[in-house]
Structure 1
Amino acid sequence: MKKTFFFDHMNLTQTQLKKRIKYWLIFLITGLVLSGITAFPIESELAIAMNNINSFSPKVQHWLTTIYTAVKNTNSQYPYLSYGTDWLAFAHIVIAIAFIGPLRDPVRNIWVLQFGMIACVLIFPLAFVAGPIRHIPLFWQLVDCSFGVIGIIPLYVAYWYSRKLEQLESA
C-alpha cells in the first residue's frame, strides 16, 4: 500500500523529516508574507476588482462596491486611518518572521508551531463575534475563517513531523 506524503514517517531519516518541515513552513511563511504585502494596496486592489465586478455574484458585487466606496472615501478624507491596515500588513510579515525559529530548529521551537495553531483556531471566534458587530456578511466571515483552516494545515503537519523528529533525536 502506498504511503501518503503527509504522514509517511516510519522510515524517514532526521534529514528527510527536517526537509518536510521546512517545506510546510516555507509554504506558511510565503502565505503570511503575501497576505501582508497585499494588505498595503487595498484601494488599488479593490479598484481592480471593481473593473471586473461583473465576474462576481450579485451579493459579492454589492459587498465589493460598498467596501470600495468606503475605502476610497476614507482614504481621500481620512488617509491616516489606513495606517491601521499598514500595521495589519506589517503584523503578518512579523508573524512570518517568527516561523524562522522552527524553520531552523523545529524541535526546540515547537512552541511557535503551537502558538500558530492556536492563532488559527482563534480566527473563528473573532470572525463570528466581531463580524456581526462590524456588519460583515456571513460569506466574508467564512472567507476570513478559511485563513485559519488553510494556516493550520501546514502548521499541524510541521508540528507532527517535529514531534517525530524529536522522537528520533531522543532515541
Structure 2
Amino acid sequence: MNLTPTQLKTKARRWIIFLMVGLILSGITAFPIESEMAVAMHNIDAFSPTMQQWLTTIYTAVKTTNAQYPYLSYGTDWLAFAHAVIALAFIGPLRDPARNIWVLQFGMIACVLIFPLAFIAGPIRHIPQFWQLVDCSFGVIGIIPLYVAYRYARRLETLQILKTT
C-alpha cells in the first residue's frame, strides 16, 4: 500500500504517542506503590496462591520500609521521573520520525535490554521467575509501537531520499 509522506508521518506519530503515554502512565504508578499494594491486598483472593504470597511479601516490605526508612521511596520517585524523561526523548521522532529514527532504534534496544536485566538482576534480588517475566513483558509491549513507528519512519526516509535524487 502506497502511503503519502504525510500519512506515514501521521501513522508513525500515533504509535510514538501511544508509547509516550504508556511510559508516562507506567512511571506514574511508581509513586503510590504502598497505596497500590494496599488495594491489591484488599483484593488478594483474586490472585493465585503464588501471586498472593508474592504480593503479601512485597506489601509487607514496602509498608515496613516506608514506615522505618521513607527516604528509600525517593528511589521510586526517580524511577517515575525517569519514565517521564524517557518519554520526552521521543519528542524528536514525534516531530520528524525519519530524521530522528535513531531514537526509535535506541528505544527498541532498550526494550531488548530489559531481558538480560530481568534475568540477571532478578535472581540476584530474589525476584520470582514469574515476576521476571512480567518485567520482560514491558520490553515486549514497548517494542511493538516502536517497531511499527520505525517501519513507517524508514518508509518515510526512503521517500525523502528518492525525492532528493
Matching of residue 63 in structure 1 with residue 54 in structure 2: yes
Matching of residue 86 in structure 1 with residue 77 in structure 2: yes
Structure-2-length-normalised TM-score: 0.97
Distance between the aligned counterparts of 2:96 and 2:17, measured in 1? 14
Q: Deviations over 1:54-93 (max 9, x none)?
A: 0000000000000000000000000000000100110001
Off by >2 Å, runs of 4+ in structure 1? none
Q: Which amino acid aligns with 1:158?
A: A
1:130 CA drift (Å): 0.2
Which residue matches 1:102? Answer: 93
In the TM superposition, what are the counterparts of 1:4-83 in structure 2 within 5 Å? Answer: 10-83=1-74
Distance between the aligned counterparts of 2:23 and 2:58, measured in 1? 23
Structure-1-length-normalised TM-score: 0.94
Distance between the aligned counterparts of 2:26 and 2:123, measured in 1? 23
Which residue matches 2:160? Answer: 169
Query: Which secondary structure does the structure 2 equivalent of 1:84 belong to?
Result: helix
Larger fraction in helix: 2
1:107 CA drift (Å): 1.1
Which residue matches 1:119? Answer: 110
Distance between the aligned counterparts of 1:132 and 1:167, measured in 2? 44
Structure 1: give runs of 5+ residues left out of the alignment.
1-9
Query: Which secondary structure does the structure 2 equivalent of 1:135 belong to?
Result: coil
1:52 CA drift (Å): 0.2
1:50 CA drift (Å): 0.3
In the TM superposition, what are the counterparts of 1:132-171 in structure 2 within 5 Å? Answer: 132-171=123-162
Structure 2: give runs of 5+ residues left out of the alignment.
none
1:105 CA drift (Å): 0.6
Q: Which amino acid aligns with 1:31?
A: G
Q: Which amino acid aligns with 1:128?
A: F
Q: Percent identity?
A: 80
Distance between the aligned counterparts of 1:114 and 1:48, measured in 2? 37
RMSD: 0.5
Distance between the aligned counterparts of 1:118 and 1:33, measured in 2? 19
